[in-house]
Amino acid sequence: MTENELAKIKRLAAIREDENIRFRTFLKGKDSVKIDSIVHRLHKEITAQIDCTLCGNCCCQLKPEVYEKDVETLAQIEKITPENYIDLYCEKDEFGDVFLKTMPCRYLVGKKCSIYESRPKECRGFPYTDKKGFISRLLGMLNFYEFCPIVFNLIERLKGELRFRR
């Protein structure tokens, strides 16, 4: 069964924090290609059961990085220049990377993205469970575990398939 209740996921994440750290260590010794194969299959199964547009929790929890093309698109939506867009709606980190600065995202209306078809690259790719290198990204995945139903369900099913001892 797929868990979608955000409050329950957050509660279980707190309870399973130590377990998830042990799971991360457990996975470090596994074959990355084999794990990616399992994760990608689980990704397809779980994303077929969960409609992200009915959740929007990532839009409340993350500040996505925006790239030049994203800024151009978002500036057009706002009818301002890309420079003004960055000044008004973005912040830069110490490396010069640009992020949307508000949480929840300014484009979130209810639980839906009001610019879904034009959303930034980082938003389109989230939660990245269909990408290669799952084991090397597991720390980030465990951060997403507490608020993303896809990541939560994927990690829980992966624990079961790998017969991880709780």
d(CA 29, CA 104): 37
Averaged pLDDT, 78-100:
97
Is the pLDDT reported for residue 1 higher than 90? no
DSSP letter assigned to residue 65:
B
Banded model confidence at residue 10, pLDDT cuts 50, 70, 90? very high
Query: Backbone phi, then psi, for 109, in 5-degree steps?
Result: -120, 110
What is the tally of helices (H) and strands (E) in the chain?
A: 9, 4
Q: Model pTM?
A: 0.93
Banded model confidence at residue 166, pLDDT cuts 50, 70, 90? confident
- C-alpha R_g of the chain: 17
The per-residue pLDDT for range 95-142, each reduced to its tens digit, is 999 999 999 999 999 999 999 999 999 999 999 999 999 999 999 999
What kind and span of H or E run contains 124? helix 121-125
Banded model confidence at residue 82, pLDDT cuts 50, 70, 90? very high
